[in-house]
Amino acid sequence: MLTSKQRAYLRSIACDMETVLMVGKFGVGAAVIKQADDALTAREIIKGKVLVTSPISAREAADKISAAVNAETVQVIGSKFVLYRKNPKEPKIVLPKASKK
């Protein structure tokens, strides 16, 4: 579970990123999930877009993909979404520490 500070940090990273995942008229299928899994393994954070022809919304796509690949949904705005999954072998992104209460 991401804290709000970690989520804000990931949003700032994703701001300048290119969209690497497209969800089209067939929705979230095995090919989209495989592509998301491979991209998250390589990059840890990805930006996706749901096209106008898609039968599902960006929130639904982000939730389905994140559940399938064990990732966190960082943000959903309009037709775009950002997913994050830490690479346990070679982490590239260092998140801010969660504050202790």
Whether 64 is in a domain gets the answer yes
Whether 42 is in a domain gets the answer yes
Q: Which domain range does residue 56 map to?
A: 4-84
Whether 36 is in a domain gets the answer yes
Using CA of residue 66, residue 4, residue 81, residue 21, what is the dihedral sign?
Answer: negative
Q: What is the CATH number of the domain that holds 25?
A: 3.30.110.60
Whether 90 is in a domain gets the answer no
- Number of C-beta neighbours around residue 26 at 10 A: 11
Q: For 5-22, how does the pLDDT look when each residue is reduced to its tens digit (9 = 90+)? A: 999 999 999 999 999 999
Whether 101 is in a domain gets the answer no
Helix axes 58-69, 30-43, angle to 10 degrees: 70
DSSP 97: P
Structural domain total, the chain? 1
Q: For 45-98, how does the pLDDT look when each residue is reduced to its tens digit (9 = 90+)? A: 999 999 999 999 999 999 999 999 999 999 999 999 999 999 888 888 888 887
Whether 96 is in a domain gets the answer no
Token output for 49: 């877009």
Please state whether the predicted TM-score (pTM) of the whole model is above 0.85.
yes
Whether 12 is in a domain gets the answer yes
Whether 22 is in a domain gets the answer yes
Cα–Cα distances in angstroms (integers) from residue 8 to residues 3, 91, 96, in the given order: 9, 18, 10
